[in-house]
Structure 1
Amino acid sequence: MIETVVALLMIVNNEIQEHRIQASMSECLKGKRIADRQLKAGGNVRYQCLKSEAEIELYMGDKHIKKLILK
């Protein structure tokens, strides 16, 4: 099923390594701030919040992103 979601992306060396669905953009930005504080300076990891369509999979009652649809 395809839905519009807010996702927190972990980008390593300009490739998306992980993505998590967030309840809202404010929750996503809060998670991004926390993650950014824990980063070492000069690393190749960055975090980004994104509102986009995604292919969603339901697993044990939770929604998981199967594939992001970037436009």
Structure 2
Amino acid sequence: MMEAVVALLMFVNGEIKEARIQDSMGMCLNGKRKAERTYSESVSYKCWKGTAELEDNIDGSKSIKKLIID
């Protein structure tokens, strides 16, 4: 299923390794600030707003299966 989402993306050496759905851009930016407190030269974070293909988890939550980048 496709939905508009706000996601916190984790990049390792310039490649997306993890994408987490956030409730709002403000919560995403807050999570980004917290994550960046642990500095690593090869890891960076970015908040992204766009469309993603989602999948349902066994506990009823949703996770990002694929980002749709235009």
The TM-score with structure 1 as length reference comes to: 0.92
Secondary structure of the 2:21 match is: strand
Could you say what the CA RMSD is over the residues aligned between the two structures, in angstroms? 0.8
- Structure showing the higher helix proportion among its residues: 1
CA distance in 1, matches of 2:18, 2:27: 17
Structure 1, unaligned runs of 5 or more: none
Q: 2:50 — aligned with what?
A: 52
- Give the number of equivalent residue pairs: 69
Deviations 1:29-59 (A, max 9, x none): 000000111124xx11100000010001011
Q: 2:36 — aligned with what?
A: 36
Aligned partner letter, 1:26: G
The TM-score with structure 2 as length reference comes to: 0.94
- Runs of 4+ residues over 6 Å off in structure 1: none
Structure 2, unaligned runs of 5 or more: none
Q: 1:62 — aligned with what?
A: 61
